[in-house]
Amino acid sequence: MAGKSAATPSTYSPSPAPKTKRPIFQDVDWVRPDGRGFHQCRPAFLKTGAVNAASGSAYAEFGNTKVIVSVFGPRESKKAMAYSGTGRLNCNVSYTTFAMPIRGQGSDHKGYSSMLHKALEGAIIVESFPKTTVDVFALVLESGGSDLPVVISCASLALADAGIMMYDLVASVSVSCLGKNLVIDPILEEESYQDGSLLITCMPSRNEVTQLTVNGEWSTPRVHEAMQICLEACSKLAKIIRSCLKETASAPKD
């Protein structure tokens, strides 16, 4: 039997393989699995100061997507690095082994670290910490879809919590294209069936896009529409991030 060959791991998950039949996503009057409207984001919960050992940290929970980001530094760069008049940004995103429905699937997100770096570098004033490095480390505790945008937004909150100088807060939102519909802030199930996706990271007060990726086939008006939806959601998300920071600041100081 093929299943008994040496190549297969000695254990397997009893969860059934993802269903091959595509749900009826194409219809216009289809309802999202969690009952949201197409252009409605999941409720967001954000909190600073999740990790005491870090200079700044934040916890974000969007639906089932749960993320912690710690910021360390500015601190001494690694020895091998040459002198630099500007600061360095170092990003790392990792997954817990239980983040995905099947154990150990989180390793196929290697590109996320560099994506996070690209999304943040445009917003950070690196001149403000010459010769040193700021480390941004993210851990996805549980993956529930739209992981990267949540990590990016959470990282921006953690950077603010650490007092790293930024031009503006960074907010990130993605949309999935499912048949004729554009759905914002997709969950894992929607992401696995998507025809295309668009992710925007922006600095809402400056109206600047720091990162944009498009995947799958799109027409130009469609890209335009998706960008509009995302930018709108980004500015709302930025407000929530801001209010979260204000809350922390206005809380009775020691």
Partner 1 sequence: MTSHSQPSVLWQRRSTRRYNPFLGFFSDYHLGLFVGLSLFYSLEVVLGNKTLKKMVSANVSGDLSSEMEVDAFRRLFPLRYHERFLLDSIRPDARPLGRARDTSLALGAVASADGSALAKIGCTTMLAAVKMEVMTPPKESPDEGSIAIEFYMPPICSPLVRPGRPAEEAPVVSKQLSDTILSSGMINLKELSLVSGKAAWMAYLDIYCLDADGSLFDAALLAAVAAFSHLRIPVVSLNEEGRVVVVSEENEEGKSEKEPVNKGKRKLTLSSLPFSLTCILHKNYILADPTAEEESIMETLVTVVLDSSGQLVSLYKPGGPVLAYASAVQDCIALTRQRVKELKSILNEAISDMEVD
Partner 2 sequence: MVGLSVGEKHFIQGGIAQDLRTDGRRRLTYRPFNVETGVIPQANGSARVRLGGTDVIASVKAELGKPSPSQPDKGKVNIYVDCSPTAAPMFEGRGGEELSTELSGALQHCLLGGKSGAGAGIDLSSLVVVEGKVCWDLYIDGLVVSSDGNLLDALGAAIKAALTNTGIPKVEVAVGASGDGLPEVDISDDEYLQFDTSGVPVIVTLTKVGRHYIVDATLEEESQMSSAVSVSVSGQGRICGLIKRGGAGLDPSVILDMISVAKHVSEQLMNKLDSEISAAEAFEEES
Asked if 15 touches partner 2 (CB under 8 A), the answer is no
Answer for which of 5, 7, 11, 82 binds partner 1 (CB under 8 A) is: 11
Asked if 191 touches partner 2 (CB under 8 A), the answer is yes
Partner from partner 2, partner 1, none contacting 35, C-beta within 5 to 8 A by type: none
Query: Cis ω on the peptide bond leading into residue 74 (within 30° of 0)?
Result: yes
Report the alpha-carbon angle 185-160-123, nearest 5: 70
Whether 194 contacts 187, CB under 8 Å:
no
Answer for which of 11, 20, 52, 250 binds partner 2 (CB under 8 A) is: 20
Residues 118 and 120: their CA atoms lie apart, in Å, by 6
Asked if 25 touches partner 1 (CB under 8 A), the answer is no
Contact residues for 184 (Cβ-Cβ < 8 A; gap 6+): 38, 39, 40, 41, 173, 174, 175, 229, 230, 233
Residues 233 and 231: their CA atoms lie apart, in Å, by 5
* Candidate ranges 48-56, 160-168, 205-213, 217-225; the one touching partner 1 (CB under 8 A): 48-56
Report the b/e string of 55-76 with b at 16+ CB within 10 A.
Answer: bbbbbbbbbebbbbbbbbbbee
Asked if 69 touches partner 1 (CB under 8 A), the answer is yes
Residues 126 and 44: their CA atoms lie apart, in Å, by 29
* Candidate ranges 53-61, 76-84, 138-146, 211-219; the one touching partner 2 (CB under 8 A): 211-219
Residues 98 and 112: their CA atoms lie apart, in Å, by 18
Whether 209 contacts 226, CB under 8 Å:
no
Partner from partner 1, partner 2, none contacting 105, C-beta within 5 to 8 A by type: none
Answer for which of 53, 217, 252, 253 binds partner 2 (CB under 8 A) is: 217
Residue 218's φ and ψ, nearest 5 degrees, are: -135, 150
Asked if 139 touches partner 2 (CB under 8 A), the answer is no
CB of 252 to partner 2, least distance (A): 36
* Candidate ranges 28-36, 63-71, 135-143, 206-214; the one touching partner 2 (CB under 8 A): 206-214
Asked if 72 touches partner 1 (CB under 8 A), the answer is yes
CB of 209 to partner 1, least distance (A): 19
Residues 56 and 248: their CA atoms lie apart, in Å, by 12
Nearest to 164 by CA among 139, 188, 138, 128: 128
Answer for which of 30, 34, 131, 142 binds partner 1 (CB under 8 A) is: 142
Of residues 157-176, those binding partner 2 (CB under 8 A): none
Binding residues (CB under 8 A) for partner 2: these are 1-2, 17-18, 20, 22, 110-111, 114, 118, 121-123, 177, 191-197, 202-203, 206-220, 223-224, 227, 231
